[in-house]
Amino acid sequence: MTIAEAQAEVDNWIKTIGVRYFNELTNMAMLTEEVGEVARIIARRYGEQSEKESDKDKDLGDEMADVLFVLICLANQTNIDLTEALRKNLEKKTKRDKLRHQNNEKLT
């Protein structure tokens, strides 16, 4: 699935199953909540915190998909073409960081 296809599919899902988009502020709060759920799994599974028994069955991929879903909702609501936004962002990073990371002794 391309990014554009994902944006269209989420839009269709919202309009047929979800009834309507939540407002942008609600979706921003939801995005923050979903990112927190990803952070919790990462901190416990890959970081130094011990994993609680109740967290062991959490699906990291599913939680990441929740983040992506809400991010796509926000993009759709604010008329952002995520394909184009990502393309521009990668160009910016490439121009800005072309030699920065290669010259970083901490990364070699």
| Domains of the chain, residue spans | 3-82
Predicted TM-score of the model (pTM) = 0.89
- Work out the pLDDT band at 70, boundaries 50, 70, 90: very high
Q: Is 57 helix (H, G, I), strand (E, B) or coil?
A: coil
Fold of 3-82: Helix Hairpins (1.10.287)
Q: Distance between terminal CA atoms of the chain?
A: 34
Give dist(CA 31, CA 102) in Å, integer: 33
pLDDT interval class at 6 (50, 70, 90):
very high
Chain-centroid distance of CA 54 in Å reads: 24
